[in-house]
Amino acid sequence: MTGLKRSPGLTGHVTGRDLECGVTVLFVTVDEIGKGPKLHWHPYDELFVIRRGRARFTVGDEVIEGGPGDVIRGPARIPHRFEVIEAPYEAQDIHLNDEWIQTDLE
């Protein structure tokens, strides 16, 4: 295992390939209200585990507000994004794949 890797815009991430398993974990911290990723999708499910702050998620046609302790699912091939509505926002995003694959729509 190679351990934690750093990535711009994120606190860090580690891939399933690094861990020799089928998940990739992103450590996300956003300190500004209104910020978040562009609309995108993945060819696998993604889980958002919110630890601090609040965010408004758009998952397909559904809008969901989430806060500490909530787990939100972004199903495979369904466009999704979130916008921070209470900062600081901290979450672990679990990609159910051994590598991070993302197709941006915006």
For 69-95, write each residue's pLDDT tens digit: 999 999 999 999 999 999 999 999 999
* Domains located in the chain, CATH noted: 16-104 (2.60.120.10)
Query: Where does the pLDDT of residue 15 fall: very low under 50, low under 70, confident under 90, or very high at 90 and above?
Result: confident
Task: Say how far apart CA 84 and CA 86 lie, in whole Å.
Answer: 6
The per-residue pLDDT for range 24-76, each reduced to its tens digit, is: 989 999 999 999 999 999 999 999 999 999 999 999 999 999 999 999 999 99
pLDDT score for 7: 44
Return contacts of 14-17, CB within 8 angstroms, 24+ apart.
15/98, 15/99, 15/100, 16/97, 16/98, 16/99, 17/98, 17/99
